[in-house]
Amino acid sequence: MSEKRSELVKQLNVEEIRRDFPVLSRKVHGVPLIYLDNAATSQKPMAVIEAMNLFYQRENSNVHRGIHTLSEEATADYEAARKKIARFINAKSWREIIYTRNATESINLVAYSWGLANLHPGDEVLITEMEHHANIVPWQLIAERTGATLRYVPITLQGYLDLDKLNGLLTEKTKMFAFTAMSNVLGTIPPVKMLVEKAHAVGALALVDGAQAVSHMPVDVQAWNCDFLAFSAHKMCGPTGIGALYAKRQLLEEMPPFLSGGDMIRSVWMDHATWNDVPHKFEAGTPAIAEAIGFGAAIDYLQKIGGMEAIHRYEQEIIAAAMTALQEVEGLRMIGPPPEDRGGLISFALDGIHPHDAAAILDQDGIAVRAGHHCAQPSHDRLGIEATDRASFYFYNLPEEIDMLVRSLQRAQAIFHHP
């Protein structure tokens, strides 16, 4: 590994990149932090923190409605960030980007606005067994409210979508096919473009949950041709409190508003109101202004360090190395597909050790992983596993952190099996 390691690390300049992240020099329990919980949320570089500080210290003001200088500057920066996001995923227009709190709210927006207006008894919404709760529960609730039926594409024991079953499930009854572009448990990257095509072939819309994909690989909504894409800033070096929904402009024009209040209206009379242009029609009240600016700074940062293609390649090498190394740990079972079909995360179970206990022991060694069902109970149920530990990498993780992970897991084995 060591030779390849240095090549790999040089490629992205990881040693230098790490200096941009103050938290990465922190110690926990007296040892250096090894942060492997990136699928839950990523760390933030100084460039992002400082962009928000600058906003608060120089031009903090409300947007859109102000004539004074601060408000003009704040509005310009807030809207410039939207354009960065649009370009980042190759949207046709900045009007196709709606700011939300997170990927979860983005999906809820579609479920409430599009779903309540367009779903009827007999209609079907198709999701998959590898979805995050964010792409399950909103559809359960909207199906219940509208009388539509929720169906699932099953997953195979290897952690792939069972594409043989797809044709039977995707019918003219299907009005929406909503699926993740990268599973946050299995790591699986499904064939998004093909799935969108299949949805469109039966007249369904396609919503892609990009919470993991947009943070970890190049995404091009025009190439995918998806109708909606949901993602969060906090998983891609951006701040908490902001996410985005991409939607094709025509759909946004047709959809009724979701949240309502100031800024999303054109005019308000006592008995009714008319709506502002898209995307503003979907953004009610004072938005997360500093956070939007931080989101834009995060995108600048990702591009500056090498771009999503390089980041994705780096993570795929890291995950291949990790999966090889983890085979050394006795009684460790990994779930999901081989490295070439997955993103930079790996979920595993240890014989006789509950994932929480393993995570707690790793924490004593400074290693942060997540334990549980990772907000994806159905995929765990399907694989017959109650919970797992998940190690998830980002471009600032070093190959030697894998070795530390392996050693700490071996310590856990010793504690439980030779107490």
Ligand X SMILES: Cc1ncc(COP(=O)(O)O)c(C=O)c1O
Taking the C-alpha atoms of residue 74 and residue 114, their distance in angstroms, rounded to an integer, is 31
Give the total of residues touching ligand X (CB under 6 A). 18
Considering the rule CB under 8 A, would residue 81 count as an interface residue with its own copies?
Answer: no
Segment interacting with its own copies (CB under 8 A) among 58-66, 191-199, 244-252, 405-413: 58-66
Nearest 5 degrees, angle CA 130-CA 131-CA 135?
Answer: 165
Considering the rule CB under 8 A, would residue 147 count as an interface residue with its own copies?
Answer: no
- The answer to whether 379 and 183 have CB atoms below 8 angstroms apart is yes
Q: Which of 354, 382, 403, 410 binds another protein (CB under 8 A)?
A: 354
Segment interacting with another protein (CB under 8 A) among 112-120, 225-233, 238-246, 274-282: 274-282
Cis (ω within 30 of 0) for the bond into 279? yes
> Kind of pairing, strands 228-232 and 205-209?
parallel
Considering the rule CB under 8 A, would residue 5 count as an interface residue with another protein?
Answer: no
The sign of the CA dihedral 407, 413, 415, 419 is: negative
Q: Which of 40, 141, 259, 265 binds another protein (CB under 8 A)?
A: 265
Considering the rule CB under 8 A, would residue 362 count as an interface residue with its own copies?
Answer: yes
Given the residues 28, 368, 375, 406, select the one marked as catalytic: 375
CB neighbourhood size of 73 (10 A) = 17
Taking the C-alpha atoms of residue 363 and residue 28, their distance in angstroms, rounded to an integer, is 8
Q: Report what 370 binds from its own copies, another protein, ligand X, none; CB cut-off 5-8 Å by kind.
A: its own copies
Q: Report what 59 binds from ligand X, its own copies, another protein, none; CB cut-off 5-8 Å by kind.
A: its own copies
Taking the C-alpha atoms of residue 206 and residue 196, their distance in angstroms, rounded to an integer, is 6
Q: Which of 47, 202, 251, 284 binds its own copies (CB under 8 A)?
A: 284
Whether 237 is a known active-site residue: answer no
Q: Which of 22, 122, 147, 331 binds its own copies (CB under 8 A)?
A: 22
- The answer to whether 131 and 376 have CB atoms below 8 angstroms apart is yes
Smallest gap from Cβ 109 to ligand X, in A, equals: 12
Q: Report what 18 binds from its own copies, another protein, ligand X, none; CB cut-off 5-8 Å by kind.
A: none
Nearer of residues 91 and 153 to another protein, judged by Cβ? 91
Binding mask 83-122 for another protein (x = CB under 8 A): x--xx----xxxx---------------------------
Taking the C-alpha atoms of residue 70 and residue 48, their distance in angstroms, rounded to an integer, is 20
**Interface with another protein in residues 35-74 (CB under 8 A):** 64-67, 71-72
Nearest 10 degrees: Cα torsion 335, 328, 8, 364: 90
Q: Which of 98, 206, 219, 242 binds its own copies (CB under 8 A)?
A: 242
Considering the rule CB under 6 A, would residue 184 count as an interface residue with ligand X?
Answer: yes
Considering the rule CB under 6 A, would residue 280 count as an interface residue with ligand X?
Answer: no
Q: Report what 368 binds from another protein, its own copies, ligand X, none; CB cut-off 5-8 Å by kind.
A: its own copies
CA-nearest of 403, 404, 347, 354 to 370 is: 347
Cα atoms found within 13 Å of the Cα of residue 158, Cβ hemisphere only:
11
Considering the rule CB under 8 A, would residue 281 count as an interface residue with its own copies?
Answer: no
The residues facing 209 across adjacent strands are: 180, 230
Segment interacting with its own copies (CB under 8 A) among 157-165, 171-179, 191-199, 240-248: 240-248
CB neighbourhood size of 272 (10 A) = 7
DSSP track, 254-307: HSPPSS-STTSEEEE-SS-EEEPSTTGGG--SS--HHHHHHHHHHHHHHHHTT-
Considering the rule CB under 8 A, would residue 33 count as an interface residue with its own copies?
Answer: yes
Q: What are the CA-CA distances from residue 128 to residues 131, 165, 371, 379 (Å)?
A: 6, 11, 22, 9
**Interface with ligand X in residues 337-376 (CB under 6 A):** 375
Nearer of residues 9 and 78 to ligand X, judged by Cβ? 78
Smallest gap from Cβ 213 to ligand X, in A, equals: 8
Considering the rule CB under 8 A, would residue 210 count as an interface residue with its own copies?
Answer: no
Q: Quick check: helix, strand or coil at residue 63?
A: coil
- Which residues carry out catalysis? 375
**Residues within the interface to another protein (CB under 8 A):** 64-67, 71-72, 75-76, 83, 86-87, 92-95, 265-267, 276-277, 280, 352, 354-357, 360-361, 371-373, 386-387, 415-416, 419
